[in-house]
Structure 1
């Protein structure tokens, strides 16, 4: 059986360090990864003897869940591609890929240090199985790893020694197990709609899906991008007095920032539905400009603990004696404030702005102090 005719079965070896500890390094050298891969192979073959007929490929690197669960599953697909390239004619063998001077052989197998402190460290594995065995092995792995997936003592000891970390648990999971774990985690923190978007992007990217956040923001996945409805328009549909509406708007922006950060971590972009192009971490909602030219000014809406939640750009017009709205901007990350400042200068000629609490019109819309903003 040639490797190119085999079926890939993605797994992970999930490490749960003792609370308050973390692995001393994110990658293993090639020799270290090879030694660990041999222990992993022994564990899996003891569990399922038919796995002796597969090629086991292991990346000697620890990842976070968000790095593995990205559209196209780039870590697993890269590991699979490398395993298939090997020249050996026989499928059954164990191969490992490690680092040199801390760098893995290809970029997709290099862990991002930004995610190095997560509570679960994941070491990716791919099994290349003969087509005739693949379905049976897949089903058996799903069943057996649930109850018997703990790493063996020799393998667990090697993990603790190689990564210089104490472990509470080390166990094997299928990719479907990892998907189920992510689903539970996001549902537990009231982010089930996020999982709806992510699951579709991972498993059925050719289709779209529409959902609604816990606060009622409309979210739609289309062509690999998540589009969100206008927070200002959402505010128009809310009820309550001014204080309640301000609190609701701040909460919606906080929720939107959560979505933006997690979607980015999972490799998905967030854009404003019907919005204008804007730098990463910034949403831009523009309105038609008046026919009469006039200077523009901006007001930054702030909320306790969140900083600037929106910036409204208006143009004062003599015809209506009220400001004409030009744009709302929504910064979704601290790093976006520099981009916001540059965009205001480049597109509106604004170098400075007033700021204060979230300003609302008499109708409860997002406004600027002392005047209506429609």
Structure 2
């Protein structure tokens, strides 16, 4: 599982949500050529591209839904026993984008957009190619100039850089980005949902909100003012200061919830009354 990552110029947004068949096929051909130059064995595998752009969070969701959809479409495509195939999905001839490749409107506007691609074939061959890509793609995965130019012209947006990443490379990049924007405490929860969704993960590090991931969803502790003060502001004096701090805390809860939901992780708020142990409220 990988992506073409398009870094757009500041303020730029693509004019096209997805490419029509001819452009999508041309981009898939350039993708295959560029990847095969790095790992020649890729030429023996099926390569399937979604010629539609998404926010990185949409590609980093539990169960990898964009890549799973590519696999489903690939399995239904003809020619499965006739050698390696190069297949692209995008808009139809009229420019209409099918539902599986319609990006979330609420997540548009970012400077980085990604196009998912999938390599498929004999498990041993896929594993070998995947291992090699994990080793080299982050350092050597810059798209060729004509590939970047094609993407720029086809989508209608100024592209500063175009590069190839595995989904693990993308996750590592997002972890670094979250660290730079003050969201590093939340990343282990997202990582658990992506890589070990059956496991449990806690964010229990005041002054951050209390949060538990389990059972495929995140539960955030919803404190009454008195319970919040007991846990987060026992030494703060003055009603104005307490009100501002409590409002900031509530805004932080909403921010974390929005990030989790962008990654496809459902969020519920658990009421935590009085002096009760809030961890128990999240486990009930």
Inter-partner Cα distance in structure 1 for 2:153 and 2:209: 47
Say how many residue pairs are matched.
267
Q: Which has the higher contact order (CA 8 A, sep 6+)?
A: 2
Residue equivalent to 1:234: 228
Inter-partner Cα distance in structure 1 for 2:211 and 2:88: 41
Equivalent residue for 2:7, pick from 16, 26, 38 = 16
Residue equivalent to 1:272: 269
TM-score normalised to the size of structure 2?
0.88
Partner SS for 1:268: coil
CA RMSD of aligned residues (A): 1.8
Written as runs of structure 1 = structure 2, the 5 A alignment for 1:29-178 is: 29-88=20-79, 89-100=81-92, 101-105=94-98, 107-178=99-170
Q: Does 1:245 align with 2:242?
A: yes
TM-score normalised to the size of structure 1?
0.68
Question: 5+ residue gaps in structure 2?
Answer: 275-284
- Cα deviation, 1:195-229, whole Å, max 9, x if unaligned, reads 11111111111111112255242210121221122
Partner SS for 1:230: strand
**8 Å contact 1:231–1:249 — kept in the other structure?**
no
- Identify, as 1 or 2, the structure richer in strand: 1
Written as runs of structure 1 = structure 2, the 5 A alignment for 1:246-265 is: 246-265=243-262
Residue equivalent to 2:277: none
Question: 5+ residue gaps in structure 1?
Answer: 1-9, 276-284, 288-374
Inter-partner Cα distance in structure 2 for 1:115 and 1:271: 21
- Identify, as 1 or 2, the structure richer in helix: 2
Residue equivalent to 1:27: 18
Higher-Rg member (1/2) = 1
Shift of 1:256: 0.5
Equivalent residue for 1:217, pick from 209, 223, 231 = 209
Aligned CA distance change for structure 1 residues 86 and 23 (closer, same or farther; 3 Å)? same
